[in-house]
Structure 1
Amino acid sequence: MAATRPVVVVGAGLGGLSAAVHLAAAGREVIVVEARKEPGGCCGTASVGPYRFDTGPSVLTMPSVLAEIFAAAGEDMDGWLPLRRLDPCYRLVYHDGSHLDVVPDAEAMTEQVRALCGPDEAARYRRFRALLGEMFQAEWSTFIDRDMTSLRSMVRPYTLLKLAAMGGFRRLDRLVAAHLTDERLIKAHTFQSLYVGLPPGQALGVYAVIAYMDTVGGVYFPRSGGMHAIPKALAALAEKKGAVIRYGVRAVEVETDGTGVAAVRLDTGERLATRHAVVACDLPRAHARLLPPAARDWRLRRPRFSPSCLVVHAGLDRRPPGQAHHTLHFGRQWAASFAALRQGRPQPDPSLLVTCPPAGDAAPAGHATLSVLEPAPNLSGGWSPGLTARLEERLLARLAELGYGDLSGAPRLVWDPPAWAKEGHSAGTPFALDHRFTQTAWLRPSGVARRVPGLHFAGMHTAPGVGVPPVLISGRLAAHRILGTAR
């Protein structure tokens, strides 16, 4: 009987849509309920006049994870969501005026390092690049692309010993500094730790795999529609396979009976009878408002949230000449900036990620869009009145110094931690829980509610964690558990 009832997916973000596609492709009836008027969740979009901006992730790595979702539905991703590989993946600009273009080709990248840092460092870089590949191979299939709902999943003695021998359980900054000597190159391979909510001095060396995904695996971007094209394509694919997506409808309660999940109640008063639900929205808020007490997870008793960010989206009347798609401007006060975030204060000299995608359908002909991200504290320590305005003013002044011109009169949107909180993100951060050891793999909130059979979770708050590929994987893992094919 359970197989004849629809699976209800709460949330049409990337995790929920991934689950919906896999379930529908396997022949299950699926209903997705989404409070917003369109798919995307964190991978959203917003407009100011003729300018459209991606309001969520701007970096796409590991496109094979996306391709696998389309393949599971018998489709070729290129026909639905053609991507292009960015070259350079990033332009890294240092405070001394030097810069490093991170390019996808190994030989070309080695030449970039040789030109900036010298032949000896280029040789060290080549060896370090090989180490990153080994670490990625060891971690991907064992800990990232695998169901972590059982403690047994952590017991991989051979892989753990191998990672330990490679330095995976040292601190990330120390691991990288043991192989590279130029501070600029070290920064190029450690700044990614902020993606998992930790400074390089706190993140484990195993997170060097993020640098592998960025600098070796490459960074991609949809050929049209921006990053929001990803959830739009997944939603269309899910509907083609038979899933029903209901927008503008909010789930208000997951009902249970003596055997597990019984129904999902909606704000319309409807009751969707089901034996399986996938909750793919902000997990701490879901526990507070949507889920039964029996679903509580001890891992969320004292959650540690990632820092947040201030993002300024601006419309430009022309594209800056020679501008890369992604440019990272490093600040001078590297250690002090991380210390400030740990203490819940704005960074004194933040590094800025500037994204300037091809105009395409995001801006009028000859115009461009610019999105600038500055790391910021989350709301755990409060957010004083007027702080957003002060940080925005400082950010615009910094951009002018960096050569982007006076943007004070440009059409723009500003997203700050209070805005993220209004969008449904706990602690006002779009980066969920940080990835300290006690919030990683099996120790991260579980993908299943052990005391509520049929209740599954997907998204950033559960394993594998934060980022587009991990969130997509979390949805697939939830679907496979329901289908009985989890590994």
Structure 2
Amino acid sequence: MTPPSKKAIIIGAGLAGIASAIRLAVKGYSVNVYETAARPGGKLSELRSGDFRFDAGPSLFTMPQYVEELFRLAGKNPEDYFQYKRLDTICKYFYEDGTQLKAYSDRNKFASEIEKNTADSAASVIDFLDRSEKIYQITNPVFLQRSLHKFLNYFNSTTLKSLLLFPQIDAFRTMNKSNSARFKDSKTIRLFNRYATYNGSNPYKAPATLNVIPHFEQYFGAYFPEGGMYSIVRSLADLAMHCGVQFHYNTYVDEIELRGKKLSGVRIGSALHEADLVVSNMDIWYTYRKLLKKIPAPEKILLQERSSSALIFYWSINRSFQELDLHNIFFTEDYEMEFQHIWQKKNIYFDPTIYLNISSKVEASDAPPGCENWFTMINVPSNSGQNWDALIDDARRNIVSKLSRILKTDITALIIGEHILDPRKIDSQSFSYQGSLYGSSSNNQFSAFLRHANFSSKIEGLYFAGGSVHPGGGIPLALLSAKIVDGLVE
């Protein structure tokens, strides 16, 4: 007679929650996922407005191997369930003086493009990318693939080798200082400083170790999934259900129940749902404040500086622009001042850097013929009680003015539909405390060590996955957090 399987409960159907569910189901657990929203995905969601579709959350897809790994783990061929294409142009950059620069996926073409449009040489770019790769080789085994919070993990040969090379990851200079020493043109420096925003940090405070991020794009590539970014969620949720995972939507978990120093399950209303282990994919701040009220919270971790947030305008545009690509950046002239407003003044600079994503450039059905779906985003501070209605009005005016000026077209009348996402809504819709997109910021050299572990040192059977815990935010790291949990579970 087959013994009954162990029971696992996942709190939250974000990407890390779904990935954790798949991995535990493959291990033989009976898995139930409880999600407060009506569908899976967390911050990785989609928005439909008439004939327009928008990827409402993360819009850049890198490291697809971490998605494919889940299908292979379940004995499936990823290509049968999930397709994507590699981008030849990762991003297009626009500057106020009229310079337009394409970040090609081919590193030599990219380096030549920078040499052609700035005062920096192609050789300096190649050298930068080589250094980015070196940082990745050193940090990947230690910071990304394993728990930093298990003592024995520091005593294998790979980790010891990486630790001996620690001085080479440039942790004691800021990203901006490192890039300013390497390049002489402000255009190039701004381009590479921008990667700090990939985990909600400030390049004028964050360690130069974050210069590892360009390696993810330039070496492993940037991609677009067929059907848009939300197809990642759909395909993985389908895979989870195929593995026997049960999803319960519109269901709020009230508390993680404990029996001494061991969890017993979760309470939903008056009902106790028993489990052998629980994985919280909820923001770590809310996990402790809402679900673990009976145990002392790790205050030093919860009170760390939060990452930045985002203000996004989803615009239905009644025209197409040939000069725009899938990913576009419109730089401010004073990047440092923009970050001072975000981090010190806690407001929005009048001339913000704008990220414009247009998925209809690749997925034509995302907008009607002759139209485009503009995901128009700027980095903003997390919510600490600002007057967001006034900030949004000013920002919208400044964004429209800036885009109209650089594109030499008044876009005001072209906006035929609009939806807005601000830090308050990010918090309320996805339980991301203060609307911060990545949990805590990475604005000091020890940030990687200060993130919450993927397991509880106090409660047996309790684990944590997602962008607010180790190893960090973004799709690849969220998936890796689930992989680390998988490795921790007996």
Q: Quickly name the TM-score band, shorter chain normalised.
A: over 0.9
Write out aligned runs for 1:82-93 (5 A): 82-93=83-94
Match of 2:134 in 1: 134
Q: Choose the corresponding residue for 2:402, options 391, 398, 401.
A: 398
* Percent sequence identity over aligned pairs: 24
The residue type paired with residue 416 of structure 1 is: D
| Alpha-carbon distance, 1:393 to partner | 2.2
Q: Contact 2:284–2:302 (CA<8 Å) still a contact in 1?
A: no
Match of 1:412 in 2: 418
Give deviations 1:82-106, integer Å, cap 9, x for gaps. Answer: 1111221011112221122111112
* 1:188 to 2:198 alignment: no
User: Which runs of 5 or more residues in structure 1 are unaligned?
Assistant: none
The residue type paired with residue 454 of structure 1 is: G
User: Which runs of 5 or more residues in structure 2 are unaligned?
Assistant: none
For 2:173 and 2:152, the matched residues in 1 are separated by 23
Match of 1:364 in 2: 368
The residue type paired with residue 414 of structure 1 is: I
Write out aligned runs for 1:180-329 (5 A): 180-224=183-227, 226-267=228-269, 269-294=270-295, 296-329=297-330
SS of match in other structure, 1:239: helix
For 1:87 and 1:401, the matched residues in 2 are separated by 27
Superposition TM-score, scaled by structure 1 size: 0.93
Moved over 4 A (4+): 151-157
For 1:17 and 1:49, the matched residues in 2 are separated by 29
For 1:154 and 1:342, the matched residues in 2 are separated by 34
For 1:242 and 1:53, the matched residues in 2 are separated by 30
Distance 1:3 1:42, change over 3 A: farther
* 1:114 to 2:115 alignment: yes
* Bigger shift: residues 149-158 or 35-44: 149-158
Q: Contact 1:438–1:444 (CA<8 Å) still a contact in 2?
A: no
Q: Contact 2:183–2:189 (CA<8 Å) still a contact in 1?
A: yes
| Alpha-carbon distance, 1:21 to partner | 0.8
Match of 2:483 in 1: 476
Q: Contact 1:311–1:372 (CA<8 Å) still a contact in 2?
A: yes
For 2:154 and 2:208, the matched residues in 1 are separated by 17
Matched positions, count: 480
Write out aligned runs for 1:307-386 (5 A): 307-343=308-344, 344-358=346-360, 359-380=363-384, 382-386=386-390
Match of 2:454 in 1: 447
Match of 1:94 in 2: 95
For 1:475 and 1:95, the matched residues in 2 are separated by 42
The residue type paired with residue 406 of structure 1 is: I
For 2:222 and 2:296, the matched residues in 1 are separated by 37
SS of match in other structure, 1:347: coil
Distance 1:40 1:463, change over 3 A: same
Q: Contact 2:200–2:437 (CA<8 Å) still a contact in 1?
A: no
SS of match in other structure, 1:380: coil
Match of 2:74 in 1: 73
The residue type paired with residue 420 of structure 1 is: I
| Alpha-carbon distance, 1:234 to partner | 0.7
Q: Contact 2:138–2:169 (CA<8 Å) still a contact in 1?
A: no
| Alpha-carbon distance, 1:157 to partner | 5.3
Distance 1:451 1:163, change over 3 A: closer
For 1:439 and 1:127, the matched residues in 2 are separated by 26
| Alpha-carbon distance, 1:237 to partner | 0.4
For 1:339 and 1:271, the matched residues in 2 are separated by 48
Distance 1:350 1:9, change over 3 A: same
* Bigger shift: residues 271-280 or 416-425: 416-425
Q: Contact 2:15–2:42 (CA<8 Å) still a contact in 1?
A: yes
Match of 2:176 in 1: 173
* Bigger shift: residues 374-383 or 435-444: 435-444
* 1:465 to 2:467 alignment: no
For 2:483 and 2:169, the matched residues in 1 are separated by 30
Q: Contact 1:39–1:231 (CA<8 Å) still a contact in 2?
A: yes
| Alpha-carbon distance, 1:320 to partner | 1.3
Q: Contact 2:313–2:377 (CA<8 Å) still a contact in 1?
A: yes
For 1:439 and 1:212, the matched residues in 2 are separated by 21
* Bigger shift: residues 254-263 or 170-179: 170-179
Q: Contact 1:306–1:434 (CA<8 Å) still a contact in 2?
A: yes
| Alpha-carbon distance, 1:207 to partner | 0.6
Match of 1:105 in 2: 106
Give deviations 1:224-279, integer Å, cap 9, x for gaps. Answer: 1x111111111100111111111121111111102511011224x43211120000
For 1:113 and 1:429, the matched residues in 2 are separated by 32
* 1:22 to 2:26 alignment: no
SS of match in other structure, 2:28: coil
For 2:262 and 2:474, the matched residues in 1 are separated by 30
Quote the RMSD (CA, aligned, Å): 2.2
For 2:299 and 2:445, the matched residues in 1 are separated by 12
Q: Contact 2:105–2:217 (CA<8 Å) still a contact in 1?
A: no
Q: Contact 2:205–2:444 (CA<8 Å) still a contact in 1?
A: no
For 1:223 and 1:325, the matched residues in 2 are separated by 14
| Alpha-carbon distance, 1:30 to partner | 0.7
For 1:434 and 1:293, the matched residues in 2 are separated by 27
For 1:161 and 1:103, the matched residues in 2 are separated by 34
| Alpha-carbon distance, 1:362 to partner | 2.2
Give deviations 1:252-311, integer Å, cap 9, x for gaps. Answer: 1111102511011224x4321112000001221221111243262244342211121211
The residue type paired with residue 195 of structure 2 is: Q
| Alpha-carbon distance, 1:192 to partner | 0.8
| Alpha-carbon distance, 1:150 to partner | 2.3
Distance 1:38 1:166, change over 3 A: closer
For 1:182 and 1:153, the matched residues in 2 are separated by 42
Distance 1:110 1:391, change over 3 A: closer
SS of match in other structure, 1:190: helix
Match of 2:46 in 1: 45
Distance 1:166 1:455, change over 3 A: closer
The residue type paired with residue 219 of structure 2 is: V
